[in-house]
Amino acid sequence: MTKLPSLRESILQHLRYSFGKDPEHAILEDWRMAVSYAVRDRITDAWINATHRTYDTGAKRVYYLSMEFLIGRLLEDGIVNLELVDEARAVLAEFGKDYQAVLADEPDAALGNGGLGRLAACFLESLSTLGCPAHGYGIRYEHGLFRQSFVDGRQVEMPEHWLEQRHAWEFERPEVRYRVGFGGHVDTRGETVRWYPAEEVEAEAFDTPVVGWKGRWANTLRLWSGRAIHPFDLDRFNHGDYAGAAQPEALARTISRVLYPDDTTEQGKELRLKQEYFLTCAALRDILRRFNNQFGDLRKLPAKVAIQLNDTHPAIAGPELVRVLHDERGLPFDDALEIAQGCLSYTNHTLLPEALEAWDESLFGRLLPRHIQLIDRIDATHAARNPSRQQSMRADHQVKMGQLSFVMAHKVNGVSALHTDLMKSTVFSELHRLHPDRIVNQTNGVTPRRWLLGCNPRLASLITESIGEAWVDDLDQLTRLEPNVQDAAWLDRYAQVKRDNKVDLANWMARHHGVHVDPDMLFDVQIKRLHEYKRQHLNILETIALWSEIRDNPEAGWTPRLKLFAGKAAPGYFFAKDIIRLINDAAAVINADPVTAPYLKVAFLPNYNVSLAERLVPAADLSEQISTAGKEASGTGNMKFALNGAPTVGTLDGANVEIREHVGAENFFLFGMTAEEVMERRHVDGHAWRAIEADPRLRRALDLIRDGRFSPQDPGRYHGITGNLEGPDYFLVCSDFTDYWRAQREVDAAFADRSRWSRMAAWNTARSGWFSSDRTIRGYMADIWNAQSLIGA
Ligand code: Z16
């Protein structure tokens, strides 16, 4: 390993020799790139060392296959994990550059929709912090999740183009390319079966190092980019067809062009299935090449390779691995099946029926003719070995990817305790009966480096000053704050941290969005994808009811509250887009009301992404986690808020259940029906009407919306929403409203007593250590992967 110059030297060298600038002429982007390269150099040593260590020890490797990695910005992550914050800030200050501005110049890599993609990013960081040899495999989308803006309150989508700015972190690997085939035909000669694809594209690797805490270890995020095998059609060019000559390249690149913008809804589009096979095929080739170089004997595969399927999106890995082992490498089918099962495991992230992937067999068979044959054989084998089996993975002229994933995996995990129980009792009940040891729980977690140390430096400093710095990679240590929580002077400091964070946010909102808020208000925050089950409309209904009530009685001693929203709706999800518009319309009316202005303000911040979350989470007083019980598989935002000292108002759903157990029922504002009660209530005739009739506040809020109080030029604008709520109300917004209102008034009372509130908030921080993704990854290593840490080994 070479001895690196000082960070200052390194930055100036890169400025000069990598970017051809001196400090006088460097623009912000040059500085950002130079700092990134200087930090990257320091990561690269750890990275190469980790690779050597993995080879030398012959350790088992973990492969995390995911269609989404919502990594956000990486520079601060690197600086924080290498403990270079003060040094980097000082060097930039010396040259008159603002550290925050340099960090903010980096594009926010949004290669994911929401929780699932962000979880994958937190997991990669924890895998590196723990020194577990691992690769993430994904797609290098040219366009990540769309950018969102509002025009007259409506969501407008614009293409995102993160690669337009220079990207500091990836290493192109032109030598790592694989062919991926589609379509064509299958040739069967006795036992020998060959697939001859009609179309082929090439997958090229781009590597990003992911460094763990203190730079002890670094793993690789390998993203595949689509390209043509013959990029340029000279023949067509020579015949004057200039556009046609470039067509093969354009077509091949389409495969990694754009991230599908749907969170928990599957569209069943052909290009999406192609993306899924593209990722999976390239990743498996790469995994087997690496295995062959080092070990060779394919029967050892499960001892050396663990492949985690992040949802069913890469589920084609099952049949693909069987195809390679059986068709190409000549292993008997049963052996190929057993080896594949030994390697594969599957994480389920939702029970929503619209999210469970099922492909039409005609589309599937046309694109992957050999795989559908193998799936039939896998299904038949499973049926033969389990005579009581009823449900086939090949029912209704479809391929059911959840069933396929379950059968091909040796472990299947849920992402919270409740979600895991519901998997056993609902969607996977038959498979659970047949394979009672297969389903396990690994409750999600979040990385404390990004979600506390990085995003909330004031709180991090207070914690370190109080209990030392060991909490950063041993988050359970936060319980050592418990004595401090009893100490009034310490609590004042804790409260001051929150207050300072709120002032920062207020200033930022004024500067960037022209929204002026009083930092003494209760900052009530709901940030997540827009979805009926997440019930942003329950929140805005309560907001409207509160507004009416304050107008009736302005002198009643209301707790001043800022209702903050952020989140994107899938472009085709019109109901969710209507909810956004309603919130914006209601905000305009409410914010213009001088009577209620001292007590209530509403803002919907556009273009929610990881970076915005990093701003909002440290400044929140209250965390809104109000999904219909049984619908949110886990949630991970809920953990970030609790860790940063925002108590939850929430239902008994997903990981909320476990958060409440850890922070204590007295520090959590619980409301609403349980998952069991939800299932029963759906069968009660006219449940919505009953709830509306029983609660005049709800009645009035619905009337205001329906009668056009927030859309006077277009009074019918929200009849879709009100009609749904007064009619089917599948997500039981009305049925939970009254109890939600009650819980919110308890919040008001608790917040009015500032020392009580600080104690609740600090208690949330002290008891959230269990929600570190380090704990989650240790669980996967022990219960699913049988993988070991190589730090200190
Ligand atoms: C997603 O973000 C999630 C589930 C899913 O099927 C697809 C996507 Cl893109 C989310 C869950 O909704 C959330 O509850 C969970 O915390 C997260 O995945 C990570 O497990």
The residues carrying an active-site annotation are 349, 528-529, 534, 636, 640
65 and 189 assigned to the same domain: yes
Task: Specify whether 288 is located in the same domain as 389.
Answer: yes
Clarify whether residues 210 and 253 are in a common domain. Answer: yes
Domain containing 124 equals 61-72+113-444
pLDDT at residue 94 greater than cutoff 90: yes
CA of 419, closest atom in ligand 1: 14
Nearest CA owner, ligand 1 atom 18: 116
574 pLDDT tier (thresholds 50, 70, 90):
very high
Above 60 in pLDDT, residue 554?
Answer: yes
In the reported structure, the alpha carbon of residue 267 is separated from the centroid of ligand 1 by a whole-number distance in angstroms of 16
Q: In angstroms, rounded to a whole number, what is the distance separating the alpha carbons of residues 578 and 588?
A: 15
Q: Are 619 and 510 in a shared domain?
A: yes
Judge whether 687 lies within some domain.
Answer: no
pLDDT of residue 266: 79
Mean pLDDT (whole number) for 672-679: 98
Same domain for 506 and 383: no
Atom from ligand 1 closest to the CA of residue 113 = 9
CB of 143 closer than 8 Å to CB of 112: no
Instruction: Supply the pLDDT for residue 324.
Output: 98
What does the pLDDT look like over 212-223, one tens digit per residue? 999 999 999 999
- How far is it, in rounded angstroms, from Cα 405 to Cα 391? 14
Residue 789 lies in a domain: no
* 401 ligand 1 Cβ < 6 A: no
Out of 116, 631, 659, mutate this one to test ligand 1's pocket (max ligand atoms within 8 Å of CB): namely: 116
pLDDT tens digits, 631-670: 999 999 999 999 999 999 999 999 999 999 999 999 999 9
Q: Report yes or no on 730 lying in a domain.
A: no
Residue 346's CATH number: 3.40.50.2000
pLDDT at 419: 98
Query: What pLDDT sits at residue 263?
Result: 80
**CA-angle at 91, arms to 86 and 94, nearest 5°:** 120
551 in the same domain as 414:
no
Asked if residue 144 and residue 96 are part of one domain, the reply reads no
Q: What is the mean pLDDT of the chain?
A: 97
Q: What is the pLDDT of residue 267?
A: 81
% of the chain beyond a pLDDT of 90: 95
Does residue 144 sit in the same domain as residue 247? yes
Is residue 171 one of the residues assigned to a domain?
A: yes
Residue 504, pLDDT > 90, answer: yes
Q: What integer is the mean pLDDT of 749-776? A: 98
- pLDDT one-digit tens code per residue, 241-271: 999 888 888 889 999 999 999 887 878 799 9
272 and 301 fall within a common domain? yes
Number of domains in the chain: 3
Burial of 680 (0-12, 13-18, 19+ CB in 10 A): exposed
pLDDT at 231: 82
Q: What integer pLDDT is reported at residue 373 of this predicted model?
A: 98
Tens-place pLDDT, residues 459-491: 999 999 999 999 999 999 999 999 999 999 999
User: Cβ of 45: how many Cβ atoms within 10 Å?
Assistant: 14
**Nearest residue CA, atom 4 of ligand 1?**
349
Q: Is the CB of 349 under 6 A from ligand 1?
A: yes
pTM more than 0.95: yes
- Tell me, yes or no, whether 45 lies in a domain: yes
Estimate to the nearest angstrom the gap between the alpha carbon of 496 and the chain centroid. Answer: 30
For the segment 134-156, the average pLDDT, to the nearest whole number, is 98
Report the candidate in 563, 113, 188 with the shortest Cα–Cα distance to residue 377: 188
Query: Is 211 part of any domain?
Result: yes
The answer as to whether 755 is a domain residue is yes
pLDDT score of 46: 94
* The pLDDT of residue 723: 98
Residue 96 has pLDDT above 80, yes or no: yes
C-beta 403 within 6 A of ligand 1: no
Query: pLDDT by residue (tens digit) across 325-345?
Result: 999 999 999 999 999 999 999
* pLDDT tens-place string over residues 684-722: 999 999 999 999 999 999 999 999 999 999 999 999 999
Q: pLDDT band at 1, cuts 50/70/90? A: low
Q: Alpha helix (H) ranges present in 553-649? A: 574-591, 610-616, 637-643
pLDDT at residue 232 greater than cutoff 90? no
Grouping H, G, I as helix, E, B as strand and the rest as coil, residue 225 is: strand
Give the ipTM of the model, two decimals please. 0.99
| Among 81, 78, 80, 99, CA closest to 90 | 99
**Ligand 1 midpoint to CA 114 (Å):** 7
Residues 176 and 312 in one domain: yes
On whether both 373 and 424 belong to a single domain, the answer is: yes
Residue 115 CB–ligand 1 contact under 6 Å: yes
Q: Are residues 164 and 277 in the same domain?
A: yes
Q: What is the mean pLDDT of residues 75-92?
A: 98
Statement: residue 793 has pLDDT above 60: no
Domain assignment present for 721: no
Distance 121 CA to ligand 1 centre (A): 13
Is the minimum distance from the CB of 678 to ligand 1 under 6 angstroms? no
